[in-house]
Amino acid sequence: MSLNIVRYENGNGIGLVLISNPPVNALSAEVVAGLRKAVDIFEADTSAKALVLHCEGRTFVAGGDIANFETPNFDTRPFSSLLSRLDESPRPVVATLHGTVLGGGLELAMSCHHRLALPDTRLGMPEVKLGLLPGSQGTQRLPRLVGVPLALDLMLTGRFISAQDALAAGILDEIASDDSLALGIAAAERLAEANLPVRRSSTLNVSADAATRQALAEATARAAKKPNYPALGAIVRAVEAAVNLPFSDGEEMEAREFDQLRLSSTSRALRHLFFAERTAARIPGLSREGAAREVHSVGIVGAGTMGGGIAMNFANVGIPVVLVEATDEALKRGLSVVRNNYEASAAKGKLSKEEVEKRMSLLNGSLDYGSLASCDLVVEAVFEDFYIKKDVCARLGQICKKGAIIATNTSTLDVDLLAEATGRPADVVGMHFFSPANVMRLVEVVRGARTAPDVLTTAMRLARRIGKVPVVSGVCYGFIGNRMLDPYIREMEFLLLEGAEPQQIDNAIESLGMAMGPCRMSDLSGVDIGAKVVNGRLEAGELPPDPSYRVVVRKLFALGRCGQKTKAGYYRYDGRTPLPDPKIVDICADLAREHGIARRRDIKDQEIIERLMYPLINEGIQILDEGIAYRPGDIDVVWTAGYGFPDYRGGPMFMADQIGLSEIKNTLDHYARMRGNQFGYWTASRLLESLAATGQRISAWTKQ
Which residues of the shown chain bind ligand 3H9 in the complex (CB under 6 A)? Answer: 23-24, 26-27, 62-67, 76, 79, 100, 102-104, 107, 126-127, 130, 132, 134-136, 138, 278
The torsion of the CA quartet 107, 113, 114, 117, rounded to 10 degrees, works out to -10
Cβ contact 461:292 at 8 Å: yes
60 or 369: CB nearest ligand 3H9: 60
Nearest to 458 by CA among 450, 474, 447: 447
The distance of closest approach from Cβ of residue 33 to ligand 3H9 in the complex, given in angstroms and rounded to an integer, is: 13
Give the C-alpha separation, 452 to 312, whole Å.
27
- Give the Cα separation of 200 and 191 in Å (integer): 13
Rounded to the nearest angstrom, the gap between the alpha carbon of residue 371 and the centroid of all alpha carbons in its chain is: 35
| Closest to ligand 3H9 by CB, 107 or 240 | 107
Nearer to ligand 3H9, 130 or 298 (CB): 130
Which of residues 130 and 466 has its CB atom nearest to ligand 3H9 in the complex? 130
Q: Which residue number, 222 or 464, has a Cβ lying nearer to ligand 3H9? A: 464
CB of 323 to ligand 3H9, least distance (A): 29
Residue nearer to ligand 3H9 on the CB measure, 81 or 214 = 81
Task: Output DSSP code: residue 568.
Answer: B
Q: Are 53 and 93 in contact (CB under 8 A)?
A: yes
Return d(Cα 702, Cα 693) in angstroms, integer.
17
User: 278 vs 332, which CB is nearer to ligand 3H9?
Assistant: 278
642, 441 contact by CB (below 8 A): yes
Minimum separation from the CB atom of position 70 to ligand 3H9 (A): 11
CB of 153 to ligand 3H9, least distance (A): 17
The residues carrying an active-site annotation are 411, 432, 444, 482
* Neighbouring C-alpha atoms within 13 Å toward the C-beta of 458: 25
Nearest to ligand 3H9 of 63, 299 (CB atom): 63
Q: How many alpha carbons fall within 13 Å on the CB side of residue 622?
A: 18
Cis ω on the peptide bond leading into residue 143 (within 30° of 0)? no
Q: What amino acid is encoded at 301 in this protein? A: V
C-beta separation of 382 from 392 below 8 A? yes
Question: Is there a cis peptide before residue 22, judged by omega within 30 degrees of 0?
Answer: no
Q: Could you tell me which residues are beta bridge partners of residue 14?
A: 11, 50
Distance CA 104, CA 55 (A): 14
Rounded to an integer, what distance in angstroms lies between the CA atom of residue 366 and that of residue 369?
Answer: 8
CA distance 427 to 450: 8
State which residue, 102 or 319, has the beta carbon closest to ligand 3H9: 102
Instruction: Report the alpha-carbon distance of residue 321 to residue 309 in Å, rounded.
Output: 12
What residues pair up with 51 in beta bridges, in sequence order?
Answer: 15, 93
Q: How do strand 14-19 and strand 6-11 relate by DSSP bridges?
A: antiparallel
**DSSP type of residue 130:** G
Residue 244 beta carbon to ligand 3H9: minimum distance, rounded to whole angstroms: 21
| Pair type for strands 572-574 and 405-408 | unpaired
**Whether the Cβ atoms of residue 320 and residue 362 lie closer than 8 Å to each other:** yes
Give the pairing type, strands 50-55 and 14-19: parallel
